[in-house]
Structure 1
Amino acid sequence: MLSIIKSAIQKSISYSEYRTLVSKLISEGKSTGKEQSADLLHYSELNEVRMNRLEKTLKMDSEVLEKLQNLKAKQTWLVISEGWCGDAAQILPIIKLMAESSENINLKIVLRDENDDLMAQFLTNGARSIPKLIVLDENLEVINHWGPRPEAAKNLILDYKAKHGIVDEPAKIALQKWYLEDKGISTMKEIVGIIHE
């Protein structure tokens, strides 16, 4: 596991590099990842708008901020993501804001499709669901991991799928509405809860 993590960190990029990469690919009519399609490009474009908005409007929860500022040991937060992922677009700006709130957090991002070995270690019910946050200590040992979405958002999708049999466009719209109303608070509180365990 340690060699997989070290390899991923060597290939990782910063948040600003991730944003630049996604924007550059969109300008070329592409998305991140091995698969390319009009849908994935469309989702990437939507997500860029979402991330721009979130970067301007997100506010740090004061309780979460205090816990982050009291973090004693250095941590690396390694996030597995892709530009077309709607959950990643909602969650990455929150993770960035949290990481910036503590001098002890170093945020790194890797693309899922370029890191199969890493993704295989952090599946969600057997699926390669993203985003996935892996919290590492100073020795790059896994403290904990979180993702792909907050509990309430996860339940919203599970309930919808149980009722309708699929996750379609109305489900995705309902999920984005939930994120909008939650303002990142659930994500912040869940993440801060796992970094101290």
Structure 2
Amino acid sequence: MNSTIKTSLDRSITYEEYRTLTHHLSMTNGTSGKEQSEAHIQFTKLNDRRMKRWDKTLKINKADAETFKRYEQKLIWLVLAESWCGDGAHMLPVLNKIAQINPNIELRIVLRDDNLELMDNFLTQGNRAIPKVIMIDKETGNVIGTYGPRPSEVTGYVNRFKAANGVLTASFKEDLQYWYNDDKGKTIIQDLIQILSRLQPSVSL
């Protein structure tokens, strides 16, 4: 296993520990990461509420759950995240639900700003974009895939908006939150089924 990945795995925490951390930061007016700004503090509070809601309401339908159960390769999903990241607050609960369905998938989380060496090996268009899921074969330690920082449909929206406007505006980011709420994790689930089906062809769509 790559030494950088091993070091980050040693620092990693479970989803439950990440939720505890985010909730604690939310209740104490804090945030993870190097930028201790008021904006990040408020985003952390908002994301704590988002994850709490998704943990209670997110459902994976029976057919998709059966597909995930058939995946036999033992994987670690090592996710780079921060408490203030809005996309992470929507994606991590979905990843956790999938990991709960299949014990062959182990979900671990590390904070980006504490693991920049790892982050810099998995940039998105040259940026330290999160959340980033690094899929590791548990037996060999090899990285066999990545996912993120956004679901496929959102990535298309973002790329088109950036091409037309240069940067993401506050109103566009707000619209993304409505998209996540309407989508209810379905696109993330289908994206991951497609990735796993490529890794293990017997996992049919």
Question: Mind listing any 5+ residue stretches in structure 2 that lack a counterpart?
Answer: 200-205
Equivalent AA in structure 2 for residue 181 of structure 1: D
Task: Give the match for residue 202 of structure 2.
Answer: none
Match of 2:190 in 1: 189
Q: Are the structure 2 counterparts of residues 140 and 61 from structure 1 closer, same or farther at C-alpha, using a change threshold of 3 Å?
A: farther
Q: Determine helix, strand or coil for the equivalent of 2:9.
A: helix
Give the share of equivalent positions with the same residue, in percent. 41
Give the corresponding residue for 2:148: 147
Question: Does 1:107 pair with 2:112?
Answer: no
Contact 1:76 1:140 in 2 (8 A): no
Partner of 1:77: 77
- Please report the TM-score for the alignment, with normalisation by the length of structure 2: 0.91
CA contact (8 A) 1:61 1:188 kept: no
> In 2, are the aligned partners of 1:31 and 1:44 still within 8 Å (CA)?
yes
Distance (Å, rounded) in 2 between the aligned partners of 1:154 and 1:73: 27
Q: Does structure 2 conserve the Cα–Cα contact (< 8 Å) formed by 1:131 and 1:149?
A: yes
Instruction: Answer yes or no: is 1:175 the counterpart of 2:158.
Output: no
Note the 1:80-91 alignment, pairs <5 A.
80-91=80-91
TM value normalised by structure 1: 0.95
Q: How far apart, in 1, do the equivalents of 2:28 and 2:49 lie? A: 17
Deviations 1:45-87, CA, capped at 9 Å, x for gaps: 1111111111111111333312211111211111110000000
On the 8 A contact 2:26/2:48 being kept in 1, the answer is no
1:66 aligns with 2:44: no
2:23 maps to: 23
Q: Which amino acid aligns with 1:9?
A: L
Structural RMSD (CA):
1.3
- 1:44-63 correspondence to structure 2 within 5 Å: 44-63=44-63
For residues 37-48 of structure 1, what are the structure 2 equivalents within 5 Å? 37-48=37-48
* Alignment check: 8 A CA contact 1:61 1:185 kept: no
Does the alignment pair 1:123 with 2:123? yes
Q: Which is further off, 43-52 or 23-32?
A: 23-32
TM-fit CA distance, 1:2: 1.1
Q: Distance in 2 between matches of 1:131 and 1:181?
A: 20
Aligned residues: 197
Structure 1 Cα separation of the partners of residues 57 and 26 of structure 2: 23
Question: How much does 1:153 deviate?
Answer: 0.7
Alpha carbons 2:25, 2:44 under 8 Å: kept:
no
Distance 1:73 1:166, change over 3 A: closer
Contact 1:2 1:140 in 2 (8 A): yes
- SS at 1:121 equivalent: coil
CA distance in 2, matches of 1:77, 1:158: 25
